[in-house]
Structure 1
Amino acid sequence: MKALYFEHFGASEVLQYGELPQPEIGENDVLVKVEYIGLNFADIYRRRGDYHIEKHTPYINGYEGAGVIEAIGANVTNQQVGETVLFVDVPFANAEYVAVPSEQAIRLPAGINSKLAASIGLQGMTADFLAHDLGKNTPGEKAFITGISGGVGQVLSQMLVADGIEVYGSASSTEKQALALSHGVKQVFPSRENSWVETVEGQFSTAYDGVGSTIQQSLDLIKHRGKVVFFGMAGGDPVKIDPVALMSESKSILTGDLWDYLTSYEERKIRSERLFSYFAKGQIEISEPTIFPLSEGKQAHEFLETGKSIGKVLLKP
């Protein structure tokens, strides 16, 4: 099979494309012929050596994709050959074929194709647990999202709007600001300057921060007894936070790892069905993903790293 791989950590130049052995499946696995692969910032961290990556010689990056089941293991009962499935937490995804544990294969309902599933899988499941397990906003509350037109931001903002939350955010360009406003967001501020921060300090019940370097700004934006939901470092590492200062204003920082919420087949089924229902009801729309052939993985990594993307970047075998 063809795969995107690398032999040592580094910049995008380490990526290679070529022939590798097709994976063998175990009795509890399904073999998926991949149609679309999700490219995420975590993949960049893994390529650099800054983030855990599953051992393999050579390294094969990627944990998210969607495709058609070509074979099933002897003990598999939840899936059948020919079904289209999504996976969001399975290693070695940057390849034509992936061996997926049965309990981690999410069946796609009618109306959700593999391209859409790969576009919303990881970010959508992330948005779901951020909103429903950490944020837990009630209708009428005000929430702020940094990087509101990114992959998670697009889904999260519309999910919160659908749940009755008043949503605000920041974005780096007028195009990205306009995109968020078209999704029902009340106001979007320019993220490349912060003169506006003082005008809205202390107004939000929750700030969702996936940028990292803006965490102090997010703390300034929330009111007393408010919370920052911290979920990523797309813009760099966060500054150190003094817990005593948080205590003096009854502010909290909540964080979590999606993998701690996707612990069984049933968890994946319940959460994915809730996510897909927003799309089925027309409550969430996303911008068209940017698609690169898997053979152009180097260019795709560079495109994502330079912040040019609006929404999802996909690789297509």
Structure 2
Amino acid sequence: MKAIVCEEFGSVENLFLGERPDPIPDSNQVLIKVEACGVSFPDLLILQNKYQFQPSLPYSPGGEAAGQIVEVGKEVKNFQKGDRVLALCRWGGFAEKVVVDAERVFKIPNAISYVMAASSIYSYSTSYHALKDRGELKKGETLLVLGGSGAIGSAAIELGKAMGAKVIAAASSDEKLAFCKEKGADELINYGSEDLKNKIKELTDGKGVDVVLDPVGGNFTEAALRGTAWKGRYLIVGFANGEIPKIPMNLPLLKGCAIVGVFWGNFSKKEVELNLQNMDRLNQWFLEGKLKGESIQEYHLSEAKKAILALQERSKFKKGVVRIS
């Protein structure tokens, strides 16, 4: 089968279009004919050998693969050939076929396209779990989203509005903030040119924000934490900045606030039923038009390197999707 291949960690330049053996599913796995695969920040971190999980070399990137099941392991009971699914496979999705553990596979409605599934379900599922289950965001509260132009951040902006919150989006440039405004943000903070903590206080009349969603990490975490309200909830989603911040622990004490970890991957394994309920709600909101989904830039399989380069250079606000067929 055709696949994007990496034989050495490090640079995007190490990727090439090549041939790989067709994968064979184990008894608890399914084989999927991939139609589309989302491009996400973990793809880049894995390639750079900076992610918490690493594949054996050689491997193919791509962790959000959507397609049709063509073979089912003998112990798999809840899927059959022909099912339309999204597979959260961590890697392997930039290929014509991928095998995935059945517990990491989710059915998608006929009305949701493979491109929509591959581009939006992971980021929206992560953000919805963060806001609903971990942050307990309530109608009328104020939500601050760091990295608002990224996939997780832009999903959180839409979801925050759908859940009835006031949304403040923060990003590093006016161009990125214009995109956040299009996604529905009520207020904007340019943390490249404005003091983040002081601007939060200004926009909230000194109260601070009730919930912070942070997929970025780095230098802005402490400033945003200082901008939380009494009993605020600070959601740690990731470290796209590349730096894991060190937080003065007197801050949550003085503010009576909670710093909460968000790991959707483990949540979806350990709380299967609640995760499926969340995904059903998201699918319904997509079908109703309450959520628009990610803005998409499509690439052919042969252009996958270009898709990851765009992610690395943060040159686009659109979610990259690699079309396989």
Q: TM-score range by the shorter chain?
A: over 0.9
Question: 5+ residue gaps in structure 1?
Answer: none
Offset of residue 258 of structure 1: 1.2
Partner of 2:25: 25
Q: Is the 8 A contact 1:36 1:114 kept in 2?
A: yes
Q: Is the 8 A contact 1:226 1:252 kept in 2?
A: yes
Q: Quick one: which of 259, 269, 276 aligns to 2:265?
A: 259
1:67-104 deviations in Å (ceiling 9; x for gaps) = 11122223333222222110124542221101122232
Runs of 4+ displaced beyond 4 Å: none
The one-letter code sitting in structure 2 at the alignment partner of 1:306 is E
Structure 2 vs 1, CA of residues 107 and 80 (structure 1 numbering), >3 Å: closer, same or farther?
same
Which structure 2 residues correspond to residues 146-295 of structure 1 after superposition, within 5 A? Answer: 146-195=146-195, 197-201=197-201, 202-213=207-218, 214-263=220-269, 266-295=273-302
Give SS of 1:308's match.
coil
Partner of 1:98: 98
1:15-56 deviations in Å (ceiling 9; x for gaps) = 122001010012332211111111111111111111144443
Give SS of 1:262's match.
helix
Offset of residue 247 of structure 1: 1.2
Q: Is the 8 A contact 2:35 2:323 kept in 1?
A: yes
Question: 5+ residue gaps in structure 2?
Answer: 202-206
Partner of 1:314: 321
* Residues in 1 aligned to 2:116 and 2:17: alpha-carbon distance in whole angstroms: 25
* Residues in 2 aligned to 1:48 and 1:90: alpha-carbon distance in whole angstroms: 14
Structure 2 vs 1, CA of residues 267 and 65 (structure 1 numbering), >3 Å: closer, same or farther?
farther
TM-score scaled by structure 2? 0.90
The one-letter code sitting in structure 2 at the alignment partner of 1:260 is N
Partner of 1:14: 14
The one-letter code sitting in structure 2 at the alignment partner of 1:218 is A
Partner of 1:42: 42
Q: Is the 8 A contact 2:59 2:91 kept in 1?
A: no
Which structure 2 residues correspond to residues 36-115 of structure 1 after superposition, within 5 A? Answer: 36-115=36-115
* Residues in 1 aligned to 2:147 and 2:137: alpha-carbon distance in whole angstroms: 19
Partner of 2:306: 299
Q: Is the 8 A contact 1:170 1:177 kept in 2?
A: yes
Give SS of 2:143's match.
strand
Structure 2 vs 1, CA of residues 26 and 219 (structure 1 numbering), >3 Å: closer, same or farther?
same
Percentage of pairs with the same residue: 28
Give SS of 2:42's match.
helix
The one-letter code sitting in structure 2 at the alignment partner of 1:281 is E
The one-letter code sitting in structure 2 at the alignment partner of 1:129 is H
Structure 2 vs 1, CA of residues 181 and 230 (structure 1 numbering), >3 Å: closer, same or farther?
same
* Residues in 2 aligned to 1:227 and 1:299: alpha-carbon distance in whole angstroms: 37
* Residues in 1 aligned to 2:68 and 2:228: alpha-carbon distance in whole angstroms: 44
Give SS of 2:99's match.
strand
The one-letter code sitting in structure 2 at the alignment partner of 1:206 is V
Q: Is the 8 A contact 1:54 1:91 kept in 2?
A: no
Offset of residue 244 of structure 1: 2.3
Give SS of 1:263's match.
helix
Q: Is the 8 A contact 1:123 1:152 kept in 2?
A: yes
* Residues in 2 aligned to 1:210 and 1:100: alpha-carbon distance in whole angstroms: 26
Of 259-268 and 291-300, more deviation after overlay is shown by: 259-268
Structure 2 vs 1, CA of residues 192 and 234 (structure 1 numbering), >3 Å: closer, same or farther?
same
* Residues in 1 aligned to 2:68 and 2:43: alpha-carbon distance in whole angstroms: 23
Of 250-259 and 35-44, more deviation after overlay is shown by: 250-259
Structure 2 vs 1, CA of residues 196 and 31 (structure 1 numbering), >3 Å: closer, same or farther?
closer
* Residues in 2 aligned to 1:16 and 1:165: alpha-carbon distance in whole angstroms: 44
Q: Is the 8 A contact 1:2 1:96 kept in 2?
A: yes
Give SS of 1:121's match.
helix
Q: Is the 8 A contact 1:154 1:311 kept in 2?
A: no
Give SS of 2:23's match.
coil
Structure 2 vs 1, CA of residues 245 and 266 (structure 1 numbering), >3 Å: closer, same or farther?
closer
Offset of residue 130 of structure 1: 0.5
Structure 2 vs 1, CA of residues 227 and 151 (structure 1 numbering), >3 Å: closer, same or farther?
same
* Residues in 2 aligned to 1:199 and 1:269: alpha-carbon distance in whole angstroms: 38
